[in-house]
Chain A
Amino acid sequence: MAGLLLSQSEKLFIVHGVQDDYRSDGRSNLDYRPMELETDLVDTATGSARLRLANTDLLVAVKTEIDVPSPDKPDLGKIEFNVDCSANATPQFEGRGGDQLAVGIANLMQAAYQSSQAFNLKQLCIFEGKQCWKLFVDILILECGGNLCDAVSLAVKAALFNTRIPCVKAILMDGGDVDLQLSDDPFDNKLLDVGTAPLLVTLCKIGDKCVVDPSAEEESCSVVSLIVGITGTPSCYSDQENLAEVGGKFSTIDMNGPGSVAPKTLKDAINQGIVAAKLLDKALAKALINERKENIRTKKSSYGFLK
């Protein structure tokens, strides 16, 4: 992590703690740090969320545009991820300094959302083969306190949950052109189905064990970390009781750092990741549904960065 220096003995202390399943801040190896989440704070975007996980601070905004679907996938919409590392986080990100990290995270998110079982792009279709919605998911990293990938995936899911796409009627005109009619009512919009949207879980290998949600200090002690993308559980996000308990499918994997892992450790780590992702998804769903209900009942004023 940027600008962080730890001595040998400090590192040893962290490694021993992980070995005994008791980390330096009192968590067990499967515990996340407390998070703060707020949705709907950017007026210029169709959906937005701000997530603060310990010292990691992110702002995600979703903007929509009308686009032409690609010829080989005429009935699918598009989604594009864009990460911007603000220099506010660390002076190293000044100019083009954060580009490498940004592209890495954006590609990982793109890969995780690629599968039709992870995110249903059919819901973005307006007129098959002619017009579709394109979602621009812009992720702004404002402060780095470790565990960026997990935080990004959580904030993206929250922002997509908050996104409202205007209802559009498409009529095929003469000559194959499509005429779009937008409703006059600004409340005439539909919500996205994000139940299956994947979450990324970073598993940091420290000593022989893996921990989730590493702090910046723990990240600097580990030689290798695995990032797994696990699809969400749709039953958490809907009121229907009879939905089968699906989800928990494994949609992407990536490795970071100079070290290597044994196949057995890999298997254990993936299983640990699936368990962590399911718990995380449940907690996220609860928080988001709560926030939506509150928004409907009383128009709460947004705190944003003023809190």
Chain B
Amino acid sequence: MPGPDLLSSQGLRLDGRRPNELRRIQCKLGVFTQPDGSAYLEQGNTKVLAAVYGPHQAAKSKSLQDSVVVNCQYSMATFSTGERKNRPRGDRKSQEMSMHLRQALMAAIKTELYPRSQIDIYVEVLQADGGAYCTSVNAATLALIDAGIPIKAYVIACTASLAWKDGEPEPLVDVSHVEEAAGGVVLTVASMPSTGAIGLIEMSHRLHMDYFDTVLSRAMQGCKDIEVILDKVVREHLAEGWTKSDDAITI
């Protein structure tokens, strides 16, 4: 296990954070005027833009009689990673991410309210430095709120990993790219912290069952912490009005 390298003898991580410390979160709602809802979210050096269109009439072939169709697209800018990507979307990883995004967001959206309709959620990763999926989920939640689409609770995603300190397991929250690349386990959880429900859980590499609970609880705690920050931003945004009216150019 590559554990010991992830924590210094002082118990600090490679980027100087404590094991239970999140990266800096900065966000803004209503970045664009054309989509019904949009949000920009930075978690450390991971930067994501999300846009929501809808609910609008669904295409005949897709339309469902009893619930809304949630359509997600995850795309990574070609310059988002250290090495240039050839395709922004359509590769296996982005398709998998789109499916996971849909899974997590469907758990929260009140789908029964809009039968025969469709909601489009587009996520664009501008810079990826670990936890791009989590940041995407969080940004999409903010965009859904900006669009005024009813959701049951905030869906928040967070990652956790496991390191060793003096022979004791120490879970790490909000894993950065360097820690991901070190080869340890990465557990991704998308949950609704206010209800405690888990919408999606995914893990890479292997983890002993004995430590699963500690890592999971650290990730869930991370979700709770992020929710507090995002909730504050949403409330501030709503207090100052929906979007700046001078942004719109009309003829």
Decide if B228 is an interface residue (CB 8 Å cutoff). no
Given known contacts A25-B249, A142-B49, A87 and B34 CB-to-CB distance under 8 angstroms: no
**Min distance, Cβ A248 to any Cβ of chain B, angstroms:** 30
Please give, as numbers and ranges, the residues of chain B lying within 8 Å of A57 by CB-CB distance. 32
Please give, as numbers and ranges, the residues of chain A lying within 8 Å of B31 by CB-CB distance. 305
* Contact (Cβ within 8 A) B78 A84: yes
Decide if B136 is an interface residue (CB 8 Å cutoff). no
Of the candidate stretches B103-111, B119-127, B184-192, B201-209, the one touching chain A is: B119-127
Decide if B53 is an interface residue (CB 8 Å cutoff). yes
Q: Which among A14, A43, A48, A144 is the interface contact of B251 at CB below 8 angstroms? A: A14
Q: Count residues on chain B whose CB falls below 8 Å from chain A CBs.
A: 38
Of the candidate stretches B79-87, B145-153, B161-169, the one touching chain A is: B79-87
Q: Which among B33, B40, B77, B78 is the interface contact of A305 at CB below 8 angstroms? A: B40
Q: Count residues on chain A whose CB falls below 8 Å from chain B CBs.
A: 40
* Contact (Cβ within 8 A) B34 A44: no
* Contact (Cβ within 8 A) A143 B34: yes
* Contact (Cβ within 8 A) A94 B32: no
Secondary structure at the A interface, as helix, strand, loop or mixed, is: loop
* Contact (Cβ within 8 A) A44 B127: yes
For residues 62 through 112 of chain A, which have their beta carbon under 8 Å from a beta carbon of chain B? Answer: 63, 65, 82, 84, 86-91, 94-96
Bound state CA distance, A25 and B250, in angstroms?
8
B interface residue numbers (CB < 8 A to A): 26-28, 31-35, 38, 40, 42, 45, 47, 49-51, 53, 71, 73, 75, 77-82, 84, 88-90, 120, 122, 124, 126-128, 249, 251
Closest 6 CB pairs of A and B: A61-B79, A305-B40, A88-B51, A87-B122, A24-B251, A138-B78
8 more contacts with CB within 8 A, not counting A33-B249, A136-B78, are: A44-B127, A45-B79, A55-B33, A88-B32, A88-B51, A89-B34, A138-B77, A138-B78
A interface residue numbers (CB < 8 A to B): 10, 14, 24-25, 33, 42-45, 48, 54-55, 57, 59, 61, 63, 65, 82, 84, 86-91, 94-96, 136, 138, 140, 142-145, 215, 217, 304-306
